[in-house]
Amino acid sequence: MTLLNKTTAELQDLLHNKEVSVKELTEATYERVEKTDEDVQAFISLNKEQALEQAAQLDNEPVENRGPLFGLPLGVKDNIVTKGITTTAASRMLEDFVPVYDATVVERLNKAGMVSVGKLNLDEFAMGSTTETSAFKITRNPWNLDHVPGGSSGGSAAAVAAGEIPFALGTDTGGSIRQPAAFCGIVGMKPTYGRVSRSGLIALASSFDQIGPMTRTVEDNALLLQAIAGLDAKDSSSSPIEVPNYKEALTGDIKGLKIGVPTEYLGEGVSEEAKAATLEALKVLESLGAIVEEVSLPHSTYALPAYYFVTSAEASSGLARYDGVHYGYRSENAKNLDEIYRKSRAEAFGHDVKRRILLGTYTLGAGHYDDIYKKAQRARALVAQDFSDAFAKYDVLISPAAPTKAMKIGEDSVDIVTKFMSDILTTPINLAGVPAISVPCGFSNELPLGLQIIGNHFDEALIYKVAHAYEQATDFHTRTPAIREEK
């Protein structure tokens, strides 16, 4: 067994007993990445020299100062800034952007002794659900290389599933952590909006975006969130609410817990395989003592259009800064100032980004603002109220994390409606700002399916409790794609 196939606990024992050095583990990580990533294409860039230097310094740290994440390798989605390391957001617009500071989450993980080995692929500016719209490469699903890994955190999910790294950071605006986690058979948490600082995150839509952990197990996920959560003076939207000890929540005891199953989340558009896996998971939770009942979230049908109008409006506004003058790529074909603006944006942005900029600009335009944007915000409030009403009666809600298994590469690249439908189960959670996790719950034709557990604001500990109890009662998290053994 190679080092990267060991559990986190086993790696920690080896590091703490000094049977393996941080430098040896980091070198083993790069060996695995160099063998596997030729097929998976999860990484946009590697920072080997810098990481090995950091690892050598960490080896001098006394054992008594080493925490639960010390010395472990980490991958960072490439829309989170890293000091001295190119951060592209998978766009030609930022191809040469080298930040001069670290995002707060990266600072905190560096402080915990983690070693960042490289930057992970995504859909351009996190706009997409397949990781096919990156300007640099298409990431592939480790379970079947002909299929997508999901998106936009597809590089993060694929790298963890392929065993290249045990920990990764993703970002979630409308399901971009949970859907790829489901497609790749790993654990992905979208925390409460405000639980994790967004300082240093290249925004898609600032009132939706949230950074979160992607890991092999629920316990690993809890450890990573513990390290990055909490108030940050550099982000006014981060919350001062105290961060509980998530590991203490992993008791396995869910007797008497009330679980609501939204009727609308098992309806039209959800595949029979995803429904069956969810219903089987509910039986497991009932056998552990939970009480399961149906509940209605009546405004769910408004969630998807509201999500696309509001996020597109925020994206068009936020991306206006990339004009070839103030920020980003500048066209070499421009002859005057007007052409610099037009040609720089036309040459550097991809199709999906342009489409959302056009939709957002239309939404915010004179004559449309009241008819579209304000109505979308009112719909957002109604969706959020649905969750408040549901959590007055239930501890958590449960649904499939994605309506289908992973699609083939190119299968829906021309069908924008299908792409939008893939967000149907996840976008309401971002509209309401509540937390949710995806854990492995089954397979369809050898491709993973995910179970979504949704909690009330700042109830991540309860979500982890339910997810851990389910994980310990099943074996889906122990299965790995063949590529991990072959490489």
Residue numbers annotated as active site: 77, 152, 176
Q: How far apart are CA 207 and CA 430, in angstroms?
A: 9
What CA–CA distances, in Å, run from 334 to 58, 96, 337, 415? 49, 19, 8, 34
Q: How far apart are CA 430 and CA 336, in angstroms?
A: 42
Cβ-based neighbour number of residue 19 at 10 Å: 9
Closest CA to 146 of 130, 134, 160: 130
Tell me how far the alpha carbon of residue 430 is from its chain's centroid: 12
436 pairs with which residues across the strands? 190, 454
Beta strands 210-215 and 187-190: pairing type? antiparallel
CA torsion through residues 243, 248, 251, 255, sign? negative
**Sheet with 73-77, edge to edge strand ranges:** 43-46, 115-120, 73-77, 167-172, 210-215, 187-190, 436-444, 447-455, 396-400, 258-262, 291-295
Token look-up 């020299």 returns 49
Which helix (H) or strand (E) segment is 321 a member of? none
Token look-up 């995504």 returns 122
Residues 6+ away with beta carbon under 8 Å from 109: 69, 74, 116, 169, 224, 227, 228
